[in-house]
């Protein structure tokens, strides 16, 4: 949601993009970063927490590699080095024109083309070193173990059996080759032009290596009927299974951990329960 830009963020934007007019600057509060939008010029991403400041160099290098790989749409490219401002870190990235589509609106052919471009993206060793790969972690660090042992037992009693069933269904899927997964292909993260052309994809903070049907499930933002016409039958089936697990957005929160423990488990469970109740 756009809002008035706080003075400290304006100062950071001014330091990173000197000479740019701040008159039209807008502010978006994200889950990991605060973002100062300088329309037509840049987006300045500022970490909100120490963990975000620590991760920003890796995320910025990831953007650089993805942007240089020749995708058929724009990706924000770093314009500045990552710079520290006391406890916060910030970077300016290139501006991407266009805008997101409303929920339930979309062209199946263009949806399919976007998903195909991601699925076929060449993952180099350099890129692989920067991306979490959930299948590489075993034992208590495995994503399914985290859900089974830390999340399902905390669900209300009426949801525990159903939660185990949904997780078992996801675990029973035949393994698919890991590909680059964006991990948040919804709303304003996918920009389209007035002519319906795909312009660019923003916010790669949740990118990881996993089943490409995860991204297909996110693209159901445009409607499940739209997705059914955009992908093959097996991808559609897998997308529905991933979504049913606990909601694909909540699932990715665990997948992107990369072997790290789940923090704020009780809060995470509360959000899952709310999702389950809404989608019962």
Nearest CA to 156 among 49, 270, 280, 11? 270
Which neighbouring-strand residues pair with 198? 192
The residue among 94, 120, 142 that closes a domain is 94
More confident residue, 3 or 176: 176
The residue among 94, 119, 152 that closes a domain is 94
Amino acid 257: pLDDT = 80
Whether 148 and 227 share a structural domain: yes
Identify the band that residue 61 occupies on the pLDDT scale cut at 50, 70 and 90.
Answer: very high
Whether 49 and 154 share a structural domain: no
Does a structural domain hold residue 246? Answer: yes
User: What would the pLDDT profile of 105-158 be if each residue is shown by its tens digit?
Assistant: 999 999 999 999 999 999 999 999 999 998 887 776 789 999 999 999 999 999
Amino acid 34: pLDDT = 95
Whole-number mean pLDDT of the chain? 94
CATH number of the domain at 173, please: 3.90.1200.10
Whether 114 and 66 share a structural domain: no
Does a structural domain hold residue 119? Answer: yes
Whether 81 and 117 share a structural domain: no
The residue among 62, 94, 126 that closes a domain is 94
Whether 76 and 119 share a structural domain: no
Whether 6 and 127 share a structural domain: no
Whether 127 and 153 share a structural domain: yes
Identify the band that residue 261 occupies on the pLDDT scale cut at 50, 70 and 90.
Answer: confident
CA atoms of 278 and 240, how far apart (whole Å): 16
Does a structural domain hold residue 100? Answer: no
Sheet holding 88-94, edge to edge: 2-3, 26-29, 33-38, 42-47, 88-94, 83-85
Does a structural domain hold residue 218? Answer: yes
Amino acid 253: pLDDT = 92
Does a structural domain hold residue 103? Answer: no
Whether 249 and 138 share a structural domain: yes
Amino acid 1: pLDDT = 43
The residue segments making up the domain with residue 71 are 2-94
Whether 117 and 245 share a structural domain: yes
CA atoms of 178 and 102, how far apart (whole Å): 30
Whether 42 and 118 share a structural domain: no
User: What would the pLDDT profile of 71-91 be if each residue is shown by its tens digit?
Assistant: 999 999 999 999 999 999 999
Task: Sort residue 114 into left (φ over 0), alpha (ψ -120 to 50) or beta.
Answer: alpha
CA distances from 59 to 71, 114, 140, 144, 187 (A): 18, 21, 26, 25, 21
CATH number of the domain at 21, please: 3.30.200.20
Residue 93 per-residue DSSP state:
E
* Total count of domains within the chain: 2
Whether 16 and 58 share a structural domain: yes
Does a structural domain hold residue 159? Answer: yes
Whether 60 and 134 share a structural domain: no
Q: How many CA atoms lie within 13 A of 277 on its CB side?
A: 9
Does a structural domain hold residue 115? Answer: yes
Does a structural domain hold residue 99? Answer: no
């Amino acid at each position: 949601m756009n809002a008035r830009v706080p003075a400290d963020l304006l100062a950071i934007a001014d330091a990173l993009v000197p000479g740019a007019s701040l008159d039209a600057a807008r502010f978006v509060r994200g889950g990991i970063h605060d973002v100062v939008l300088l329309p037509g010029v840049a987006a300045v991403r500022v970490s909100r927490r120490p963990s975000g400041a620590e991760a920003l160099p890796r995320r910025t290098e990831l953007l650089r590699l993805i942007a240089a790989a020749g995708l058929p749409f724009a990706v924000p490219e770093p314009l500045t080095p990552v710079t520290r401002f006391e406890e916060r870190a910030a970077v300016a990235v290139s501006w991407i024109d266009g805008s997101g589509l409303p929920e339930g609106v979309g062209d199946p052919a263009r949806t399919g083309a976007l998903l195909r471009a991601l699925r076929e993206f060449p993952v180099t060793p350099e890129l692989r070193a920067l991306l979490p790969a959930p299948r590489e972690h075993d034992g208590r660090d495995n994503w399914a173990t985290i859900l089974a042992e830390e999340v399902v037992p905390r669900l209300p009693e009426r949801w525990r059996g159903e939660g185990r069933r949904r997780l078992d269904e996801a675990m029973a899927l035949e393994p698919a080759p890991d590909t680059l997964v964006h991990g948040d292909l919804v709303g304003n993260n996918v920009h389209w032009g007035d002519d319906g052309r795909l312009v660019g994809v923003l916010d790669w903070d949740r990118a990881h290596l996993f089943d490409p049907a995860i991204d297909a499930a996110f693209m159901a933002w445009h409607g499940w009927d739209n997705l059914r016409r955009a992908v093959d039958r097996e991808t559609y089936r897998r997308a529905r299974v991933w979504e049913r697990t606990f909601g694909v957005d909540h699932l990715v929160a665990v997948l992107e951990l990369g072997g790290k423990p789940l923090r704020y488990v009780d809060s995470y469970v509360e959000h899952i329960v709310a999702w389950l109740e809404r989608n019962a």
